[in-house]
Chains A and B, each alone.
Chain A
Amino acid sequence: MTGRGALADLAMGARMAVTGGREGWTRALLTAVGVGIGVAMLLLATAVPGALDARQARGDARDDLRFGEQVAAGPGTLLVHALDAEFRGRPVRGRLLRPEGPAAPVPPGLTALPAPGEVVVSPALRRLLDSPDGPLFAPRLGGARVTGTIADEGLAGPNELAYYQGDDRLSDTSGATRLDRFGGGLPGEGLGPVLMLLVAVIFVVLLLPIAVFLGSAVRYGGERRDRRLAALRLVGADTTMVRRIAAGEAAAGALLGVVVGIGFLLAGRQLVPLVTLYDISVYADDIQPPTALLLAVVLAVPALAVLVAMLALRAVVVEPLGVARRSTPVRRRLWWRLLLPAVGLAMLLPVAGLREGDGGVTRWVVPAGAVLLLIGTVTVLPWLTDLLVRRLRGGPVSWQLAVRRVQLDSATSARLVNGIAVAVAGTIGLQMLFAGIAGDFTTASGQDTSRAQVQVQFLNQPDLARVLRQLGGADGVTAATGTLISVATIGSPDGPPVEIRVGDCAALAEFARLDRCADGDTFLASDPNDPTVIPADAMLVVRDNSRWRLPTAARAAQARPDPAGWMQNGVLLTPAAAATRTLGPLHSTVYLKLDPAKPDAVEHVRNAVAAIDLATPVSVLSSTIESPRFADIRRGLAIGTVVTLLLIATSMLVGTLEQLRERRRLLAMLVAVGTRRSTLGWSVLWQTALPVGVGLVLAVGFGLGLGAALLRMVQAPVTVAWPVVGFAVGLGALAVLAISGLSLPLLWRLTRADGLRTE
């Protein structure tokens, strides 16, 4: 056979991929869409690091945090007051700016610095201000006029809420930072080795099912293709030619899929800016798969398609009069099927105790072990399906029909659910790890949200009564208590510092257990863990160097954690006791209780605070702190799993629909002889549920194994996270229901008696 002949065969196959009337087109379209979805997912995955890098780069360029680095005031400096707030749970990046000279730096995305009373906002914030929700945010800008929009290069993402506001009251003593340029700060917190490994394993867990999915997508219409090849054999094609034609057909379908996939990516990219995931939004241009990876995907997918087609042909003999499955079905030998997961487990188990700073070998051993373990589900599944289903007998007719079908071709059923098994096993393993080590990353903040939900700390606001009146009057605030604070030293200006708090009895009770209290009382709150000793007759040196001695009437009281979780020694004064003392500059801390029925209460508080002082941040108390990176990863995994399962469920649905269509006559006949449609519907359900069930059993087993190995690796106690298992199994069950439910309309249509008409 000449090379020209081989090329002709390939071209013929390629033509067959798209011709063949409506059915041919439908098949080509299904393949293209299926492969396209997979390709788009792969490309998206390769583009994610780049997109996050681009985002990070813009973040670095506008960085204005300085640690310890002192810049002298000059014509080229700028005072920046960072105000990172929230609006209805969305982060708002606010900056107050005050140039100290004509050459003050301008942040990226701005053409000029806003003058006092002016504000430049991000497009998302502008949309917010223009929306009906605008009035709920506007007061925070202190009536400043919006004079411009921050350009893309000055924002982390298109949906970021951000503003730069001019404020001539800023000074470096009020918490503002002096800058001579933006950017060049410290790099952001990198991912530790544990997190790096987790991210690697997550990619494996998410991409492996997509690979499996691709494998099944390129086989859409397999049975009809086999028949077509048989027809070619009849007119004289030899087995080699048939192989080449099949290869051409598979490659053409896959290439079409790659084109569709790139199309999906380009189209999807335009939708990306509309989405905000975990407060992260990226621009369409950020989604840019690296050329090398793009090329790799474009080449690998058709290659995979050809490989799968060749493997599929290996199992059948294409004869001129039809396709015969190899008469002796492939013996399901167990040993090599178990080899892969065993090796995977063997790679994972020795890596016990991963520490910060580990790298090198473990960096690839762990993902490789996970890959092998997960691929193990693919190899063991057909064997297990066979084993479990072979002996099934009895049951109602629908069950019998389904069982027999699965028995006859357990490999096909297993192939359909491979992806689900891999995805679920990976998810269980990882989520189990996360649940197991969540304690490492989630810490109790010590804040007591039952006593107060919001804390506001004012600098230099001595008129506490007015502050409390204003904040207490905000919509949704049910209670407000506040104390004035000054810091003194004991004995001499260099002595140990001690906090002096002034407030009414109710306010002071937040800081110490007071058995009785009346105006005029003084208390010495003591925390047994605080090494600072306040002698009963201590001489206090207040900031302006005036001194006074603690009154002998001061009563000892046990300190208690304040709602924000802090507990320390301190001097507590009721207002009458404070009136006779000098206290120096006073700050104030206010605790607010909010009406839980009014979710916008905290926004009203922010507005009320802005009315008092634009630069004062508002803290919302929360009882736990979760490492934000960790939370992102975990939610990302959950979303990824759902998307992956959705994909695989789609391909299963396509497979089921195709199978139904191929059995159109049989179905019509079954209805003709009086079979209830519900019986057929149930049979479709069983037929899907059976392999999925087996797949889930296996996936749970392997997932728990993977989870246990990973937990051991990070030296966390091995506990089974049943909610995770429940979640995964629930998703699988949902997929089965969805597939069966969605195939019912076709079943109904096919079982109309017209199906019997053969002409």
Chain B
Amino acid sequence: MSAPLLVAEGLHRSFGETAALVDAALRIDEGEVVAVLGSSGSGKSTLLHCLAGIVRPDRGRVVFDGQDLVTMSDARRSALRREAFGFVFQFGQLVPELTCLENVALPLRLARVPRREAEQRAGQWLERLEVTDVAGKRPGEVSGGQGQRVAVARALVTRPRVIFADEPTGALDSLNGERVMRLLTEAARDSGAAVVLVTHEARVAAYSDREIVVRDGRTRNLEVAA
């Protein structure tokens, strides 16, 4: 087995009195789609935030590509999120003032890519996600499904190694949800990105290669040996 892309071990994280993660662990390999399943409040979003270096766990290790995110400086982690990770959330992730094209170009611009080139590459991703027609519109003017596909385009535009998707279809009906999931997983597979998919919906999780269950902050590793 080759070295895993992202490994987490012994993660603990509390918010005040509430323990969100208790000794959570998981492993993600290059290019695989892993669903993180669990009910509301089970700690799955916190797990994702820890894996993505957004939240620092109280204890434990998160190693991405040989580097421990927990001990990394905030600036380094920001840079890592910018360059190696992509994010899709349930809603509210697009900057309302910017056009969809500018939103997709934003991570590139943050990585200091010149505006012209950034917007050109953003345009290609909008096409890949079948939302070319909304390029000039503001997020408030497009449908939920279109908005999510713009968000997926934005997550992929930097060609990240891992995409973190937190309930990406949570605000969509099943048809739009399926479309977003299909485009997300296909695009991720095409560009070789691993996907960490947090969801409570089985049909969404069915787009994954395997799943990890989080309950009361603990991960249950049920990888069938077979």
Contact = CB atoms under 8 A, between A and B. Distances in A.
Chains A and B touch (C-beta atoms under 8 A apart):
yes
Contacts of A394: 115
B109 A397 contact: yes
Interface in B81-120: 81-83, 85-87, 89-90, 92-93, 95-98, 102, 106-107, 109-110, 115
Nearest to A406: B97
A674 B20 CA distance: 23
A401 B97 contact: yes
Given A400-B109, A674-B78, A679-B110, A756 B41 contact: no
B97 A408 contact: yes
B87 to A, nearest CB: 5
A674 B157 CA distance: 14
Given A674-B81, A753-B55, A669 B87 contact: yes
A513 interface: no
Contact of B92 (A396, A404, A669): A669
Given A404-B97, A756-B54, A665 B110 contact: no
A676 B76 CA distance: 10
B45 interface: yes
B92 A676 contact: no
A757 interface: yes
Interface string B122-142: 000000000000000010000
Contacts, number: 78
A675 interface: yes
B49 interface: yes
A666 interface: yes
A352 interface: no
Interface in A675-734: 675-677, 679
Nearest to B109: A397
Q: Is the interface of A mostly helix, strand, loop or mixed?
A: helix
A407 interface: yes
B35 interface: no
* Most chain B CB atoms below 10 A, which of A397, A408, A670, A754: A397
Contact of B110 (A405, A674, A758): A674
A401 B93 contact: no
A753 B15 CA distance: 12
B115 A404 contact: no
B40 A759 contact: yes
Given A673-B82, A674-B78, A753-B49, A400 B98 contact: yes
Contact of B97 (A407, A665, A753): A407
A671 interface: yes
B49 A756 contact: yes
Nearest to B56: A753
Contacts of A396: 109
A672 interface: yes
Nearest to A403: B97
Category for how many chain A residues contact B: 20 to 34
Given A404-B97, A756-B49, A759-B41, A397 B92 contact: no
B109 to A, nearest CB: 5
Contacts of A405: 97
Contacts of A671: 54, 78
Nearest to A672: B54
B97 A397 contact: no
Contact of B78 (A400, A666, A676, A758): A676
Nearest to B108: A397
B52 interface: yes
Interface in A641-669: 665-666, 669
A401 B92 contact: no
B95 A401 contact: yes
Given A397-B109, A753-B54, A674 B102 contact: no
Contacts of A673: 81-82, 85-87, 106-107, 110, 154
A674 B55 contact: no
A38 to B, nearest CB: 30
Contacts of B110: 397, 673-676, 679
Contact of B96 (A408, A672, A676, A677): A408
15 contacts: A397-B109, A405-B97, A408-B96, A408-B97, A665-B92, A666-B96, A669-B87, A672-B81, A674-B85, A674-B107, A675-B78, A675-B110, A753-B54, A756-B54, A757-B46
